[in-house]
Chains A and B, each alone.
Chain A
Amino acid sequence: MMRLLTKTTLYFLLAIIPLLAAGGFYLFYQFNKELNHEMDAGLLNDELQWVSYIAEQTENSGPFILKTPELLIYPVNDVTTIYPRITDTQQFQAIVNANVPYRQLSHVLFIRGVPYQVIIRKSKVQQSVVVSNVTRVMFFVFTGLFIITLLFNWFISKGLWKPFQRSLEKIRSAELQKMEAIYFDSNTNVKEFNELNTALNSMANKIHNDYINMKEFTEDAAHEMQTPLAVAQSKLELLLQDTNLKDEQAAAISEASTAIKRLAKLNQSLLLLAKIENNQYETNETINFNTITTKYIRLFDEIIRDKGVAIETQMVADFNIRMHPLLAESLVSNLVGNSVKYNYPGGKILVSITENKYSISNTSYLPAIETALLFKRFKKIRAEGDNSNGLGLAIVKKIADTHQLVISYHAENGMHQFIIEKNN
């Protein structure tokens, strides 16, 4: 993962390497050609000078041989070449103990009517110096370019990308409930950023509207349902007042009334879930779970005693968390309630609270909850006489998830345990 600018710079540099190499090669080729040309001209000139010098010096002598490391003249019988031939060659040099490249001119010409083979050589060592020079220059250019682009990269990302960074920061801190307060500046001096920010603005706007619509719809639907339920409930209650009713008739009406109550509760639970999902329970309040747990244990005290359930509480430290009191109560009452409801007469409940860990275990005849069904809506434990709506643990899970809490479940030796841990 790298910055966009680093990436473009890298591609740019990668593209420039062959270009620089080609440039270097061409430069070298041109230099070489030029140098050879110069050298050849030099060789021809040398030959001319030597020949006229020798012709002058050997005016009265017979045939001769001249031999220096760079010059060789000796008489030959047959005239093989009449044009000078210039070639590249190697010659061993004792000083450096290696073959050294030479440029060599070989020519047969007549001095005072006698054919002579003339060979003149010139070292090409400087030429390899030129090559290394060219390479070095290329290297410097490349490094310079690299450093300058990196510096540019840094400066540009500091300045040019500022509007982008600002938008990014806004997106990061965006909250679903406060979408209408977000505005992305679409008046920067970069066209792309303006386009991006305009798009972001319309997106934020749409999200806000959708959110409001959905929120209102969910709430309105839930509330609209409560009124007819209230009507039905009240009519059944009035009907029950008829003293002429037979017991079975009264029981049937009462059951219908209970069903309506359950429907109303289900409706409220679904609304609660939706509202948690919509983050409608923002708060700055810090809640002490110990207090709430104690409150609910006291509230359920009679039932606990009536069932003969032994409850043990180990509150080592305060478990504090930022949470809306309603959600905290919902979470604790669900867990404590379940531990009582699904317990058996004479069973046990163990509540253990430390600073970062909140745990409730209880005995139960029920088998362990399957992981796949745990915390799933309506996947309730089918227990006899159970009037739960199967949303309790889903609500617990949802509350935990939205408050950086990790909830886990273990079942061992007939003990069912729920653990809530702070995720930090």
Chain B
Amino acid sequence: MNLQAGGGRGLSLQISIIFMDMKILIIEDELALQQSIQKYLEHQGYVCEAVGDFKKGIEKINSFSYDCVVVDIGLPYGSGLDIVKVLKEIESRSGIIIISARNSLEDKLEGLEIGSDDYLTKPFHLSELNARINAIIRRKNFSGNKIISFQEIKLHVDAMRVTVNDKTIELTDKEYQLLEYFIVNQRRMLTKPAIAEHIWGDEYDQVSNYDFIYTHIKNLRKKLMDAGAADYIKTVYGTGYRFTDN
């Protein structure tokens, strides 16, 4: 039951309401990247399998079912897009995220058109990939619990409502997204660029430097603590933030 590598307390049980036994298949030929993804996702409580080429990918998806498949487009022996097509043909219920070095609109549209749920351009933040996988699994899992929680904090995903000790608190859209990102990537170090990009998008760095997110984090922390939550947002000076209870 306890899938957390680092955590040993009740939080793992609560998290696992969503993450428990969620199986992810990673199809990526760049071994170093494949291992990074696997390690990060396993840290977050997923059960991961990883393969490095098209043939093995096809074998895996034909033999097992996964909650989410992370697939690179350029693979040995075939295209990742064809894996997406096969997944659709066998009416797999797994979520699909394409990870590609190609950033063109056409590639993205093609990927989404043939049935991928999301498209992430390399290089990406592992925390971002994790957040996207989480969102897809939540979306796909209609019967499942749509609450993600961390100790006394609960996010009611459908209503975009946050409660602390069952008391609703008012957050702005950005603060809500920030909190969701923190909880999904709990205990992980999140750099300022990763946070900024997740919440304000790619264009963000055209407008300002990353110092701007400080204000939002300060406000979020204050609202959570005012509502009686512990101070989970740990600042790592010059780097970013870590949402953790120790």
Contacts and interface: CB of A to CB of B under 8 A. Distances in A.
B127 interface: yes
Nearest to A242: B189
A314 interface: no
Interface of A: 219, 223-224, 226-227, 229-235, 237-238, 240-241, 243, 247-248, 250-251, 253-255, 257-258, 260-261, 264-265, 268, 271, 275, 296, 299-300, 302-303, 306-307, 325-326, 333-334, 337-338, 340-341, 385-388, 392
A241 B188 contact: yes
B166 to A, nearest CB: 30
B221 to A, nearest CB: 17
Contacts of B110: none
B243 to A, nearest CB: 13
A45 B211 CA distance: 127
B36 A247 contact: no
Interface residues of B, number: 45
Contacts of B167: none
A250 B203 contact: no
B207 A223 contact: no
12 contacts: A229-B122, A231-B36, A234-B40, A237-B36, A238-B36, A238-B40, A241-B188, A250-B238, A250-B239, A258-B191, A265-B205, A388-B205
Contacts of B123: 226, 229-230, 232-234, 260-261, 264
A402 B213 CA distance: 37
A227 B32 CA distance: 10
Nearest to B240: A254
B156 interface: no
Given A229-B122, A234-B33, A337 B203 contact: yes
A206 B188 CA distance: 54
B32 A224 contact: no
A243 B187 CA distance: 10
A392 B206 contact: yes
Nearest to A302: B174
Contact of B206 (A253, A341, A385): A341
B10 interface: no
B193 A247 contact: no
Contacts of B43: 241
A240 B206 contact: no
A29 B208 CA distance: 96
Contacts of B193: 257-258, 261
Given A261-B123, A333-B203, A250 B189 contact: yes
User: Which 7 residue pairs are nearest across A and B when measured between Cβ atoms?
Assistant: A337-B206, A251-B238, A234-B36, A230-B123, A230-B122, A226-B101, A223-B101
B191 A254 contact: yes
A306 B209 CA distance: 13
B215 interface: yes
Given A240-B189, A261-B123, A340-B208, A268 B36 contact: no
Contact of B238 (A254, A334, A392): A254
B102 A223 contact: yes
A303 B206 contact: no
Given A231-B30, A253-B239, A306-B215, 12 more contacts: A227-B122, A230-B33, A251-B237, A258-B193, A264-B122, A271-B103, A303-B207, A307-B208, A337-B206, A338-B206, A341-B206, A388-B206
A341 B101 contact: no
A282 B93 CA distance: 37
A387 B209 contact: yes
B60 interface: no
Interface string B194-213: 10000011010111110110
Nearest to A249: B239
A227 B72 CA distance: 11
**Most chain B beta carbons < 10 A, residue from A227, A251, A333, A340:** A227
Contacts of A387: 205, 209
Contact of A230 (B124, B203, B237): B124
Contacts of B124: 230, 233
Interface string B102-127: 11110000000000000001111111
Given A247-B236, A333-B203, A237 B122 contact: no
Contact of B127 (A229, A237, A296, A338): A237
B37 interface: yes
Nearest to B124: A230
B7 to A, nearest CB: 12
A360 to B, nearest CB: 13
Contacts of B240: 254
B139 interface: no
Contact of A234 (B37, B174, B201, B236): B37
A337 B9 CA distance: 45
A250 B105 CA distance: 35
Nearest to B237: A247
A247 B33 contact: no
Nearest to A235: B36
Contacts of B222: none
Contacts of A250: 189, 236, 238-239
